[in-house]
Structure 1
Amino acid sequence: MTIYFNNMKHTIKKMNILKRIIFAVGLIIPTTIATAQSKAALTIGDTAPELKYAKWIKGTPVTKYEKDHLYVFEFWATWCGPCKAAMPHLSELAKKYEGKVTFTGVNIWEKTGDKPYESSLPAVTNFVKSVGDKMAYNVIADNNEQHMANKWMIAAGQNGIPATFLLKEGKIIWIGHPMKLDSIIELSIAGKYDMEAFKQEFNGSKVRTEAMMAKFKILDPMLKAVKAKEYTKVLAIIDTLDLSDQMIAMQANSAKITALYALKRETEAMSFSQGWIKSNNGFSGTVAGIIIGTEGLSRKSYLYAAELGNSALAQEGIVKPLVYHFIATAYDKAGDIKNAIISEEKALQTAKEALKEGKFIGSILDSTVTEFEAQLALYKKKL
């Protein structure tokens, strides 16, 4: 499995830098996993749950389901790279099937910490405005109860985004990845879609997903200790785990590195990290993110994070402007302002080029350029 520096958010702030870096470098689990693990009850052929939301951000509200009309509900988040990558395709489909299919993007799982979910509304609204016609369909945002996430996604056993629900006459006829949607719509319009066959396939997939989520329950004490910042306890718990399962081991290794750096056991942390990365270079992003998200480390550690960032530039699928910005942050923390400036200048240059060429839609915005310009100015003041 490869983990890329490809999913950064757009604003680094001191209080949420770890959150940003984690999304910058990619997640350990290859899909975006929800924390809820309740047993799925909603399935293909069921009546869709009620539509409840905090705000209808864009487009015309859906108040009823018209006969012989299809409705697409696409679940996404501003930090989700694959979600943003799918937006142009969904916009094309919305135009292609105008009058036959109504598309609505459903924003869920924004990272709000201890704040109510609706505190994310300004940022989500600004994001939708910034992408413009690249998101040429309806958009809603979940409410404080997270009704859409819980009653739709989790109820249907969907733990990752992007995820698409296709409805006909108020019933769910398909759930899947947005890139597979076009063919399903064509079959549905032509009256050739076999919902019962897909239902069997879908239910089988749900069983496998539930089994996987149950397997991860073993990590709950470790994750609870990480959240509580009880890092010595984290290490003790990891020592008791059976790490023969690759996915369990990846989560445990990430937590171990987090704990070691938090405890300022930097030599041990770096040695363990290097061994882990040697087994799979894709883990370099995770390690770099952990280092940058930890305050008070040595110059050597932050320079190591910058080194990992520079090595990631050769990987496919990365958003280079954000990686350069990440590297600049690492150099700044290391006290190497000269290289921080060089990296931030590259971040700014590549961001401008990306906007001009229409690359990295949803990841590089006008506000990204503004942010990089401001950060570059701050670095130059430190000289």
Structure 2
Amino acid sequence: MAHAQDTAQVSFNIADPAPSLYVQEWLKGTPIQQFEKGRIYVIEFWATWCKPCIAAMPHLSALASKYKNKITIIGVSVYETKNTSTKEIQAFVNSMGDKMTYHVAIDSNNQMVDNWIHAFGEKSNGIPRSFVVNAEGRIAWIGHPNGLDAILTKMIADKWNINKALKDRNNEIQLNLLKSEASYSLLNHRYELDKLKIGDAEKAILTLNKVNEIVKEEPNLKNTGLINFYIFKSLLYIDQKKAHDYGKSMLKSNDNKYLYYDIIEALTYKEDSLKLQPEIYLLGAEAYQIEIKNVDDATLEDISQYYKNMAKWYWKANNRSKAVKAQKKSIKVLKNRQNYSTSDLSALESQLHQYKQKEVN
């Protein structure tokens, strides 16, 4: 993994002058030809099919209203399917009403994608993605729109350290490269282990040894989801008490608040092939509680499915009352959705009936 630093290259970076705007058509707001000195701009990349993008729109509208005298927000439609017409994008923007009250434009022949997203090395991060242009016309920050509040507050107060932002982003790029290489290394290691005639527990021990080697070589990987996922999954085979304790520490982590996802992924992957202890399923249910709490827009995610899975894990943990309670929430959430499937509702109600019957018996 020693060559990762050599590959941490991007064409442009924070503190560089902002590229030009390449717009096919303006759908909302007065057309903007160039960035005005003394004003801050947020370039927000989105698409009509992108649920996280849609979830961020009301918040962006609130920011546009709050800082209307100092900041201009421009939503640029990118990555639309070939069959999506300008008319359809316009209809979508119109349908959003006061949830999308900022400037909106359509990318011109992928030039915004090429000169912004790709040029700044952001292709792998997908959308939504926000670029902040400071009052001097330089890129000051790049990230997910849910991080804009703190950034814009500091910029308006002239307390934003662009040099520190550049250093932080370079560190992030480097870490992402290391994670990519570590992922490839672990997958290749697993491939080699599968060739050996050894049991799953022994494979888990060897995988854990490999993980420790990687972290020893690159300590910055220690708190990443990738490393935590492999450690937790390996411990499930080696010692489930240790797996439970390690999982609890993951949920309490201040360094990475999304580690709950790695617990859910590991348990979902292993629940049908490995006999798990009740406390492991309770850990998974707790992870789902955190995931539901972190949902930005309940209308855009299948919260009903989350509660359904939570109920299943409570049931497997022999906590019948919480299984019934979670299943009831799953049904309630589903009923609150527009145009929900009656077959989905029937399946949830049938499962609830089974939980209740077995609870009584």
If the length of structure 1 is used for normalisation, what is the TM-score?
Answer: 0.55
Give the Å deviation of 1:254: 0.6
Q: CA deviation at 1:318?
A: 1.1
* Counterpart residue number, 1:326: 306
Equivalent position SS for 1:73: strand
**In structure 2, distance between residues paired with 1:347 and 1:292:** 18
Within 1, Cα distance between the matches of 2:130 and 2:291? Answer: 24
Residue 380 (str. 1) matches residue 334 (str. 2): no
Q: What is the aligned counterpart of 1:65 among 21, 31, 34? A: 34
Q: Does residue 42 in structure 1 map to residue 12 in structure 2?
A: yes
C-alpha spacing 1:209/1:342, structure 2 compared with 1 (3 Å)? closer
Assess, with a 3 A threshold, how the Cα gap between structure 1 residues 224 and 178 changes in structure 2: closer, same or farther.
Answer: same
Which secondary structure state, in structure 2, belongs to the residue aligned with residue 49 of structure 1?
Answer: coil
Matched position secondary structure for 2:215: coil
Q: Aligned with 2:282: secondary structure?
A: helix
What's the % identity of the aligned pairs? 19
Cα distance in 2 between the residues matched to 1:341 and 1:139: 46
3-state DSSP class of the match of 2:175?
helix
Aligned-partner Cα distance in 2 for 1:56–1:295? 50
CA drift at 1:220: 3.9
> 1:120–1:229: structure 2 CA closer, same or farther, 3 Å change rule?
farther
The corresponding residue for 2:167 is 204
- Give the unaligned 5+ runs of structure 2: 1-6, 196-202, 253-258, 355-361
Residue 138 of structure 2 aligns with an amino acid whose one-letter code is: I
Cα offset, 1:329, TM superposition: 2.8
Q: CA RMSD in A?
A: 5.4
- Select the structure of larger CA radius of gyration: 2
Indicate yes or no: 2:206 matched with 1:243: no
Distance 2:305 2:339 in 1: 13
* Between 125-134 and 58-67, the greater mean CA deviation after superposition: 125-134
On the 8 A contact 2:134/2:140 being kept in 1, the answer is yes
TM-score, L = length of structure 2: 0.57
**C-alpha spacing 1:256/1:97, structure 2 compared with 1 (3 Å):** closer
Following superposition, the deviation at residue 42 of structure 1 comes to: 2.1
Structure 1 counterpart of 2:148: 178
Residues 58 and 70 (structure 1 numbering): CA distance in 2 closer, same or farther, change over 3 Å? same
* Secondary structure in 1 matching 2:60: helix
Q: How many residues align?
A: 305
Q: Is the 8 A contact 1:345 1:376 kept in 2?
A: no
Specify the alignment match of 2:102 in structure 1: 137
Q: Is 1:341–1:376's contact at 8 Å kept on the other side of the alignment?
A: no
SS of the counterpart of 2:12? coil
Q: Is the 8 A contact 2:244 2:280 kept in 1?
A: no
Q: Distance in 2 between matches of 1:137 and 1:146?
A: 20
**Separation (CA, whole Å) in 2 of partners of 1:346 and 1:297:** 28
1 CA distance for matches of 2:135 and 2:164?
19
- Mean Cα displacement is larger for which, 199-208 or 336-345? 336-345
Q: Is the 8 A contact 2:15 2:163 kept in 1?
A: no
SS at match of 2:244: helix
Q: Is contact 2:22–2:111 with CA below 8 Å preserved after alignment? A: no
CA gap 1:275/1:305 in 2 versus in 1, 3 angstroms: closer
Does the C-alpha gap of structure 1 residues 201 and 134 become closer, same or farther in structure 2, counting only changes over 3 Å? same
Describe the superposition over 1:194-249 as per-residue Cα deviations: whole angstroms up to 9, x where unpaired: 8xx844333333443345345446514235549x9887489556533243537436
